Amino acid sequence: MQDWDDAFANMAHVEGSDALPGIWAARAASYRENTPNIDLDIAYGPSERERFDLVHPEAEAQGLVVFVHGGFWMRLDKSYWTNLAEGVRASGWAVCIPSYTLTPDVRISEITQQIGGAIAVAAQKIAGPIRLVGHSAGGHLVTRMICEDSPLPESVAKRIVHTLSLSGLHDLRPLLHTKMNETLCLDGAEATRESAVLHKPRNAHRLTAWVGGGERPEFIRQSKLLAMMWEGLDCDTSVFVEGEHNHFTVLDGLQDPTSPLCRSLLG
């Protein structure tokens, strides 16, 4: 039998990972202090965590990139990730980084609706094409934006030109067998409904599933699975396994406008 708890245990398999949240928070705080033209805590809904930060480029934005963070839908917030905006900001794009209400206070399906609301509000502030990127649980959330039951209004959905799921989760059914489901509160119906691999893409969006070669095998499987399933539905899909990156170092490329990850996202 598969040990599903171990299959998703990223931090247990990365040395020194206990220190990472503190490192992330410090880097992001320093970036906010030293980067001009960041609008903080823009409300997109009524709840306390329905807020996003908007990082502006130096000149008029070429369009909008939305980065959705991970944490298995039950931890972290936007304040840990501001520095990851640098790669696309330096390339002339505005970057929206939303927080969202965490489980068990809401269900994952409600988080999907919240992210749709965040993107819709950000799209009112920044004109032009929209590119989505999400990490881990955030990868789940951005791919749900381009499913046939997306919460996005059509006027926003048709502006999306590329969605990049970074180490994303696209089949939530295995999570039913994990201890973390005591917090996620998934049942079979919701796990099915929230699995992008079981949906059709809404429009002819471009999808990239990107994952580190040193990650837990389940994350590599899920990335390949989404690309395979949606390729069969005439979606422009690709999958890229990057070197020996683990679940956390795979994020590093977002800070560098010349990295393969940034070039792919903006390409």
Residue in 204, 193, 252, 212 with CA at minimum distance from that of residue 230: 204
DSSP 3-state helix, strand, coil percentages of the chain (rounded to 5)?
40, 20, 40
What is the token pair recorded at 207?
């999808």
CATH number at residue 71: 3.40.50.1820
Q: Which domain holds residue 126?
A: 4-266
* Token representation of residue 95: 């970057």
**What is the number of domains present in the chain?**
1
Using CA atoms, how far apart are residues 212 and 249, in angstroms rounded to an integer? Answer: 8
**Exposure string for 181-212, b = 16+ CB within 10 A, e = fewer:** beebebeeebbebbbbbebebbeebbbbbbbb
CA-CA distance, 5 to 217, in Å (whole number)?
13
In tens digits, what is the pLDDT along the chain, a chain of 267 residues?
Answer: 789 999 999 999 999 999 999 999 999 999 999 999 999 999 999 999 999 999 999 999 999 999 999 999 999 999 999 999 999 999 999 999 999 999 999 999 999 999 999 999 999 999 999 999 999 999 999 999 999 999 999 999 999 999 999 999 999 999 999 999 999 999 999 999 999 999 999 987 799 999 999 999 999 999 999 999 999 998 999 999 999 999 999 999 999 999 999 999 998
Global pTM?
0.97
